[in-house]
Each structure stands twice: as structure tokens, then as C-alpha cells.
């Protein structure tokens, strides 16, 4: 095969979500929307392209994301642009740019969309990946942190997940964290030669990230390092204690993990992660935390914030592994018409059913009854509607239940109402014989 005709495949680390995959993705997103909007969150959509400086300034110029993973290029007109590696910085940029801080109350925003990082592809992790996230801007009360975590627990419950753990910690603030970092650096100087290459580099550039290392051999050494939760200032300690007390009052189960940090520079105080045993070693489903100084860092007014991002690829894997969402409803109806004289009646019925939000498929060519029933069976429709010349003449069409094989005559004008009523009932188990008739 010449290079001109060589098969072009998807870029490494990306993938196609095929029609068999997307119903579960849509249903996860639908459930997220319902939960977020019950808590008065509103959707925001930001560009996938941003000025590179946005992420260098917010995420941190020494983080792995900025130094190794971002897709950055020079634009003809706009200098350096980057495909967004995360969405919090974009949401805060939009909050500042459009003066959302002038709107009454705190701003509760949620989003869905693709992010881009050039990291090693692995289970549930891709170079183009998808996130579901939310941000709360304009408030720093501990009850906000607890409400965010309560909302996440509710979302996972609504998705049918039971095997998950909420892990929480505090990473302090601009007052107490520098003092802790001095203590941490001193301890790292004594052990960094025994750590992995990445941690040796992080010991100098971003020592907090050492605590987040996943290399098995490094774990005993890291366990012996000073814990940030033991070095919080009185204000941060009080804030964290109030968050955990709120969680207890709300009945939200959690575990304090002193080593839990976030990989981005803008986080302060509350940090959290939710893990699932259904994902194996790479078990984090979502993470987030508070970022009280990010708005100022990006040139905006003081606007304390907290947010999270759910790895949708991993969340869907978890939901799939738990078999926690019911299968999507099959296509409702298939219209089989016999002969050109019945085409118009069949087409008009299909139009009516679709306008009534009843999922309907119709053959585009005349088809014999046996073949039509075979097509209806393959499509797994609930009902087949058979229209022959006799049916058109009488105005009554044959409606066949593909699960039971039962067939009855229904007036053309009543079919939409008939199907709506029937579709409220649970579908019977499919009968192999019924589908073949």
C-alpha cells in the first residue's frame, strides 16, 4: 500500500468514543447535571485554547504539567497558546474577565469537557481526557468545603457507587506552608539520594510533590517525612477542624490522610481525593481543593475558591465495573412498511413519533415482513409497527411487542399515546421466538 493510501489512525493517547460507549457517558453527565443544579450550580463553557501564561502562572512553572505535559505552540497572532491541561484556571480567568464577582452571592459553576496532557497513556488515562468539574468562587466558609464534599458523595451514590473513599487533608496557607516547606526540605536533604529521580528533582523545585509520589520503593521513606497537618497555623487548623466537624454533622464519611497534597501550586487549605477499589492501582476518581489566592494570582480581585475535577474516563470505568447504572432504554419503535403505497403513511407516523420524543427507526426501502422483523430484532426495539396497504386503508396499524410477540391493531392517531403508556412499563424479557417471527 502506498503512503498516500496508508490507513490514518487516531493520535496516540486519544480514542474514539463509539455509539456503543456514549450512552453511559451521557447518563453519567445527566446525573451530574441534576445533582449540581440541585445545589444551585450553573454551567460554564470555556475555550480549550488559552494563553500559555495562564497555566504557567496558576498551575506553577515548576510542575510536571507545565514542564513536561502541556501541548503548547506558537500561534501566528497570539504568541504562545496551550491546549488546556485543566479547567480551574480557565474558569477563574473567565470569572475575572467577565466580572462575575459583581453578581450577587457566591458563584457556583460547573463544566464538562476535554483536557490535554502529554503523559504516558494507561488504564483510564489518556492524552485527551475528559473532566466533569465544579468551582465555587467568592466564599471561604468551612461549610462551603463540606457542602462540596457532600455533593460529590451524593453524585457517586446516585451513580450507584458504594466502594469509594473520601480522603481529606489541609495543605495550609501562604503563612504556614513556607515554614513547613523549610522543615520538609531539611528532612528531604537527608533522604533524597534514596528517592526516585523525579522526587530528587522535586526536592529542589517543588518538595510538596514528593509526598504525592506513587513509586512503591519510595513509600517507606516518604512515610517518615514531616506531615503538613502538624505544622498548620492556628487559622488553618481551625478551618480544617471546622470542615471535618461539618462533614461529621452531615453524615459524610471521610478519612484524614496527612500525606494528601494536590499537584498544582494554587491549592491552599482543604484538599481532597476520592478513590475506588474498582480501579486497581491507579484508583483516584477525582480530586480537588481550596485555592484562596488564585484570583489575585491571575490579576483579579480577592475571591476565595474551592473546586474539583472528576476524571470522567475513570468515573465511567468505575460505574461500568460496578454495573451500577441500568442499561439504556432500547429504541422504542421500528416502522416496517409494505410497498410504495404505504411509504407516505409510514413516513408521517415516524415524524409524529419522533416529535413526541419516541425513539423511532424506519426502513428507507420497501421490505418484506420477515426481513423487517429481523431488522427490528437486531435494533432491539420494544415495538414494531407494521403498515401494509390494508392497514393504510383501515387506518389501523399492527403494533407488535417484540418482547412477548403479542400483536394488536391500534388506530394510527392513537399510536403515539399507546406507545407512551406502554413505555412507562418495564420491558419484558425478550423472547427469541418473538424476534424471529
Mean pLDDT lowest among 36-45, 280-289, 381-390, 428-437:
428-437
CATH code of the domain covering residue 395: 3.40.50.800
Q: Which of 300, 322, 344 is the last residue of a domain?
A: 322
Q: Which of 273, 288, 322 is the last residue of a domain?
A: 322
Q: Report the distance separating Cα 72 and Cα 69, nearest Å.
A: 9
Q: Report the distance separating Cα 266 and Cα 293, nearest Å.
A: 7
Confidence check: pLDDT of 437 > 70: no
348, 280: one domain: no
Confidence check: pLDDT of 430 > 60: no
272, 366: one domain: no
Residue-level pLDDT at 434: 42
361, 283: one domain: no
User: Which residue, 323, 312, 309, 321, is CA-closest to 280?
Assistant: 321
Q: What range does the domain containing 36 cover? A: 3-176+232-322
Residue-level pLDDT at 221: 87
* Entry pTM: 0.84
User: Which residue, 328, 332, 380, 357, is CA-closest to 28?
Assistant: 328
Residue-level pLDDT at 399: 94
Mean pLDDT lowest among 170-174, 264-268, 327-331:
327-331
Confidence band, pLDDT 50/70/90 cuts, at residue 259: confident
Task: Please say whether the beta carbons of 173 and 292 come within 8 A.
Answer: yes
For residues 432 and 2, the model is more confident at 2
340, 313: one domain: no
CATH code of the domain covering residue 163: 3.30.930.10
How confident is the prediction for the chain on average, in pLDDT? 87
57, 134: one domain: yes
- 188 phi/psi in degrees, rounded to 5: -65, -35
Name the domain count of the chain.
Answer: 2
Task: State the DSSP code for 345.
Answer: H
Residue-level pLDDT at 13: 86
Amino acid at each position: 500500500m502506498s503512503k498516500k493510501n496508508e490507513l490514518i489512525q487516531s493520535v496516540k493517547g486519544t480514542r474514539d468514543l463509539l455509539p456503543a460507549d456514549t450512552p453511559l457517558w451521557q447518563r453519567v453527565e445527566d446525573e451530574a447535571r441534576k445533582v449540581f443544579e440541585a445545589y444551585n450550580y450553573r454551567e460554564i463553557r470555556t475555550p480549550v485554547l488559552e494563553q500559555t501564561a495562564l497555566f504557567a502562572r496558576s498551575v506553577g512553572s515548576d510542575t510536571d504539567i507545565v514542564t513536561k505535559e502541556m501541548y503548547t505552540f506558537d500561534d501566528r497572532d497570539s504568541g504562545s497558546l496551550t491546549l488546556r491541561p485543566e479547567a480551574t484556571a480557565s474558569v477563574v480567568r473567565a470569572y475575572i474577565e467577565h466580572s462575575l464577582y459583581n453578581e450577587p452571592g457566591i458563584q457556583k459553576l460547573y463544566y464538562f469537557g476535554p483536557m490535554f496532557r502529554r503523559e504516558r497513556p494507561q488504564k483510564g488515562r489518556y492524552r485527551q481526557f475528559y473532566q466533569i468539574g465544579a468551582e465555587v468562587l467568592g466564599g471561604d466558609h468551612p461549610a462551603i468545603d463540606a457542602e462540596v464534599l457532600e455533593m460529590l458523595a451524593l453524585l457517586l451514590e446516585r451513580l450507584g457507587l458504594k466502594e469509594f473513599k473520601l480522603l481529606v487533608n489541609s495543605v495550609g496557607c501562604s503563612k504556614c506552608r513556607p515554614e513547613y516547606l523549610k522543615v520538609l526540605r531539611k528532612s528531604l536533604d537527608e533522604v533524597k539520594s534514596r528517592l526516585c529521580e523525579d522526587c530528587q528533582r522535586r526536592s529542589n523545585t517543588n518538595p510538596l510533590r514528593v509526598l504525592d509520589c506513587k513509586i512503591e520503593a519510595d513509600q517507606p521513606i516518604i512515610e517518615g517525612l514531616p506531615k503538613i497537618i502538624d505544622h498548620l497555623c492556628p487559622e488553618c487548623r481551625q478551618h480544617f477542624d471546622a470542615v471535618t466537624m461539618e462533614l461529621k454533622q452531615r453524615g459524610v464519611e471521610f478519612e484524614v490522610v496527612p500525606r494528601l497534597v494536590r499537584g498544582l501550586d494554587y491549592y491552599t487549605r482543604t484538599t481532597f481525593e476520592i478513590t475506588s477499589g474498582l480501579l486497581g492501582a491507579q484508583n483516584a476518581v477525582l480530586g480537588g481543593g481550596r485555592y484562596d489566592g488564585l484570583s489575585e494570582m491571575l490579576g483579579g480581585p480577592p475571591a476565595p475558591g474551592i473546586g474539583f475535577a472528576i476524571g470522567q474516563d475513570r468515573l465511567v470505568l468505575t460505574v461500568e465495573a460496578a454495573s451500577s447504572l441500568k442499561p439504556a432504554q432500547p429504541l422504542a419503535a421500528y416502522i416496517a412498511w409494505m410497498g410504495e403505497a404505504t411509504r407516505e403513511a409510514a413516513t408521517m407516523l415516524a415524524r409524529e413519533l419522533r416529535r413526541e420524543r419516541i425513539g423511532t427507526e424506519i426502513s428507507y426501502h420497501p421490505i418484506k415482513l420477515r426481513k423487517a422483523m429481523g431488522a427490528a430484532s437486531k435494533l432491539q426495539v420494544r415495538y414494531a409497527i407494521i403498515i401494509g396497504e390494508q392497514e393504510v386503508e383501515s387506518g389501523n396499524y399492527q403494533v407488535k411487542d417484540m418482547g412477548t410477540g403479542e400483536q394488536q391493531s391500534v388506530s394510527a392517531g392513537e399510536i403515539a399515546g399507546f406507545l407512551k403508556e406502554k413505555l412507562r412499563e418495564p420491558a419484558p424479557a425478550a423472547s427469541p421466538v418473538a424476534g424471529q417471527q
